[in-house]
Structure formats: C-alpha cells, structure tokens
Structure 1
Amino acid sequence: MPENSEPAENISGGEAEVSSPAEFASGEAATRAEAVVDRLGDLYWQKTYGGRDAFECLVRTILSQNTSDVASQPAHDALTERYGGADDGNGASDADGTGDGDDAADLAAALADADHDELADTIRSAGLYNRKADVLTTVAARVLDEYGSAAAFDAFVRERDPEEVRTALLDMDGVGPKTADCVLLFAGGRSGVFPVDTHVHRIYRRLGVAPADADHEAVRAVLEREVPDEKCGFGHTASIQFGREYCSARKPACLDGLDECPMSDLCDRVGVDTESDSVVDPADAD
C-alpha cells in the first residue's frame, strides 16, 4: 500500500481529506499493544484525525452500525442527496472548520422533520433501516433542541471535556461506545481515543493483548491505557485495515503460514489452531 494512503471510503471516519500524515519518534515500545500499533503504522499509515463536522460524523457512524462500508456508503450517499449535508465532494461537511456549518445545519433540520418511511427507504442498503431511521430523526431533533444548532453541537464536541462529551453522546438513543468514540476522534480530534469495532475487538483478543473474554469496553480500556494517546487514532484505522487484509474472522492469514502475517511474532493466536486450520472466537478458545 502506498505511503500515507488510506481507503477513500471508510465510513468509520478515515477519509484522507480530514486526516493529516504524521510521524512519531521510533523507539522501543513500552507495551505489546504499542508495539502492535507501531507495526501497523509502519505497514499502513501514521495519521492524526479531526476536523469532520460532528453531526455529519454522527450520522455516518450510525449508518455504519452492524454493517459494512460497502452497504453503508450508498445509504449515506442517498441520504445526503435527498436531505442535504456533505456536498463538498470529500464526504465531510465543513471539514476544515472554516465554514459556517450550513450543510450540517440543513441536514440536521431535514432529518429532524423527515418522514420515517421515506427516510427508512432512503437508507435501506445500510440494513436495520427502520431502527436507524428512528435513531437519525431522534438524534437530529435532540441536537437541535439541546444545542440550538449543528454548529453549536460541533463546538461542544470539539471544546468540552472528552468524558463529558462521551457521556452526552452515550445518552442519545441508538448511540453506543464505538459511535461516540468515532465522533470524539474524527470530529473532535481527541487524542487517546481508540474506538473498538468488530475488527479491533477480534484482533486484540486474538493477539493476546486483551483478555480473551473481554467485551468491547474492556478492550478499549486496555488499548487506551497501553497505547500512547497520539497513536490511538491511526491505531484504530490501521487495525481495521489489518483485520480486512490479514486477520479476518474466519480465515486469518496465519492459516496459510506464519510468514503470511506481518504480526505473527507479536501474536498469541488465541482461538486459532494453525495445525488443524480451525478458528473460534477467542472467548471460546481452550
């Protein structure tokens, strides 16, 4: 993969237009988790994130819940075509922070007043479309009611204490820890935030970095404790890419030989038996 490249469409929040290449001083990692992230940084990219509009980021991440980018990206495109929002060609409304947030404001107002059936049909490709339509209209109305505007919500996400922001986001119906953390990272630009999706949850338990039976929040606690703050953002996005390319749920690359995986020397392969070619969730491993 070319230096500093990244998939153009990563609905979790990894567009190149709203991230900046970064370099971190090399040296001996203090923890195995940091060593893994350093290896991922060498394999893929080292970046810092921030600058996406908070409401737009919230919408995109809600659409991505329990589905793939392949399914959720068309839903996002159809939503913004019908209701407004990101129209600057890079998937991020007012991404440089210099605009007035009109796109996000229009989107928030449109979603708050959207007809449920019409919205559900628009985002059908994302799956769970009836539930997601309910969540989108509810969070849009709440953002406007509690913060007054999408721009004020964006300022809240960027400027207030991260724990306060996370608590407020988690209090919204349909917003879970991964969604809240993606908003903090990609809109708020907060360091020390390591969102845990299905790839991250699987990989770091399989590696043996987190306990085999750890839930998503327990994995997050381990990573945010053991990975330096400035490395958490690209640790998240690069881990997703590693999960797609090497450490898939059903057929990790190590089944074709340990030399096929660039992380094999750091991995305990919890739940993976390379001799029998069997793979189970780490929590179900002996």
Structure 2
Amino acid sequence: MPDEPAENVSGGTDGGGVEARFATGSPDTRAEAVVDALGGLYWQKAYGGREAFPCLVRTILSQNTSDTASQPAFDALLERYDGGEDPRSSGNRPEADDSRTQSGDGGDLAATLAAADRETLADTIASAGLYNQKSRVIVEAAEEIVADFGGAAAFHDFVREGDPSEVRDRLLDIHGVGPKTADCVLLFAGGRDGVFPVDTHVHRIARRMGLAPPDADHEGVREALEASVPSEKCGFGHTATIQFGREYCTARKPACLDGPEACPLYELCDRVGVDANEKVVVDPAKW
C-alpha cells in the first residue's frame, strides 16, 4: 500500500496522523463501499495531531493551487517566520499533546505573522500563487487569532477541544477561510471524526460516481458524503479520493474512457457526465 505523499495538505507520513484499520465487511452505503475500496487502494488513516494555526496557514496556501506548488511556499514561510521548524514533525498521533505553535526563538507564530510585512510575506509564499491575496488573508487571520485567542496555543486548544460545529462556524468567520479550509483544520488539527473536506477532486468525483446529486455544490457534496460515510472513515476518504482523482479520475480524461479494466472503481461508479463511446466528458451538472 503506497504512502501518502508528503505534499498533501495532511503532510503525509511526516504529520498526517497514523495508519489505522476500519471494518470493511458489508458497507451500508455505496459511498462507504467506495471509501473502503479507496482505503484498500491507498491508505486507511486516523488524522489529527497537527498544530491548528500552521494547519490553517498551510490550507490557505493550498487554495486554488496544487499541494506540490503550495508545499514549498509553506516550507519557505516556516523557514523565515518559524525558525525553520516544521510543525509536521511534532505530534503524528491524533491524541498527541503537541508542544504548541512556537517559532524557533520561542515566539508565537500567529503573533509573528500578525506583525509581518505583507510584501515580504507575499514574496516568501510566491510559489503558492495568488500570493498578494494569500498574504493578506494570512496576516489578517493571524491578527484575528491573536486578538481573540491571545495566540496560536489557545487557538489550538479551541480547535482541539471546542464543539465541532462552533469551531467550524468560528473558522468560517475568518476572512478568506471557506468550508474546505475550515474542515481541513477540523480534520488534520482537531482530529475530528465525521469531517469530509470537499476540494475540487472530491466535488468532481462524488458527483461523477453518483454519490451526490450531479448539481450539488461543495457544501451539498459534503453533506451527502458525511451522511453516508461512517464518521471514522471520512478523513482518509477525503485524502484517498484526492489521490484517486490525481491518478485515475481526472477532470478531462478519467481512466474509464480506456475501458472498465482501466479503473479500479469502475463497478462502483455511475460515470455521470462520461460517455466512453463518444469520448465525451462534461461536468455532471450539465449531463
């Protein structure tokens, strides 16, 4: 079974939780059967243990770009503002008691970024794209976290220990933080079960496979998946679906165009928006 790539938002084997095994005998829903199949193809993991504020920053950097492009920006940000310490190296276990988000000189990363020069920060994270916008979002989020929580440590405690719905609502109140970013923080930092973040891969694949209505928006897909996938399987369901989207179920040329044998999930898929005979692929909402 392959390792989860380090370029994923979860951090792969360096910080993305721990391997786990979940019951896969008789799935109650087709969505669960899909997640079980993905778990066999890729990984089954229990997530958690990431520091909340770096996780938030890392996910903001991933917006509208690939993980392979945003990871160098995150590494560069840590090197400049956090003494080069990668928070992926602390607390791989979902139950880990992390040492809190501090910079190499003993300072608070949120406070450091709240006081950062935006042009310098933008230059630092340039590889992530949309760097002017993202630098503004990061600085403003840091300012808000320092003002409302006192710093990254208390924010981390809130994410880990607060009521999940309240934590999600509070994250969504931060300018520039959308549902996917909030859910990634809940999953990878909070270690919360029942959270299935929806990015472009998950949105496309869930509708293409018939696991969500073809015209569902990102929130509609999230609600459909969280209602039909056991809570403990939602985390790796998210990351494994992304990997499946990269390797097999791409936007323009899904593997099924080459025949049933080309896709390991062919029998579980409705292929909404895919006409293999005509080699036509459209958004499921337009099918």
Query: Would the alpha carbon gap of residues 63 and 209 (structure 1) be closer, same or farther in structure 2, given more than 3 Å must change?
Result: same
Aligned pairs, how many?
Answer: 281
Tell me which residue corresponds to 1:179: 181
Separation in 2, partners of 1:40, 1:216 = 21
Separation in 2, partners of 1:22, 1:94 = 16
Alignment check: 8 A CA contact 1:50 1:185 kept: yes
Structure 1 residue corresponding to 2:70, chosen from 69, 72, 75 = 72
Which range moved further: 161-170 or 120-129?
120-129
Query: Would the alpha carbon gap of residues 93 and 140 (structure 1) be closer, same or farther in structure 2, given more than 3 Å must change?
Result: farther
Query: Would the alpha carbon gap of residues 76 and 274 (structure 1) be closer, same or farther in structure 2, given more than 3 Å must change?
Result: same
Unaligned runs of 5+ in 1: none
1:118 correspondence with 2:120: yes
Structure 2 residue corresponding to 1:42, chosen from 40, 43, 46 = 40
1:102 correspondence with 2:99: no
Separation in 2, partners of 1:163, 1:100 = 23
Query: 1:173: Cα distance to partner?
Result: 0.2
- SS for the counterpart of 2:46 is strand
Separation in 2, partners of 1:85, 1:56 = 13
Query: 1:80: Cα distance to partner?
Result: 1.0
Tell me which residue corresponds to 1:13: 10
Per-residue CA deviation, residues 79-135 of structure 1 (Å, 9 max, x unaligned), is 1111116614x6355654342432395321221011111111111111111110110
Instruction: State the AA in 1 paired with 2:215.
Output: D
Alignment check: 8 A CA contact 2:81 2:103 kept: no
Unaligned runs of 5+ in 2: none
- SS for the counterpart of 1:165 is helix
Separation in 1, partners of 2:171, 2:103 = 21
Structure 2 residue corresponding to 1:260, chosen from 259, 262, 267 = 262
Question: Which residues in structure 2 correspond to 1:127-166 (within 5 Å)?
Answer: 127-166=129-168
Alignment check: 8 A CA contact 1:201 1:219 kept: yes
Identity of aligned residues (%): 66
Separation in 1, partners of 2:100, 2:207 = 43
Alignment check: 8 A CA contact 1:271 1:281 kept: yes
- SS for the counterpart of 1:102 is coil
Structure 1 consecutive aligned stretches of length 4 or more whose deviation exceeds 6 Å: none
Q: Give TM-score scaled by structure 1 length.
A: 0.94
Tell me which residue corresponds to 2:223: 221
Alignment check: 8 A CA contact 1:85 1:93 kept: no
Tell me which residue corresponds to 1:272: 274
When the two chains are superposed, the root-mean-square deviation of aligned CA atoms in Å is 1.5
Q: Give TM-score scaled by structure 2 length.
A: 0.94
Per-residue CA deviation, residues 34-76 of structure 1 (Å, 9 max, x unaligned), is 0100110111111100000000000000000000012111111
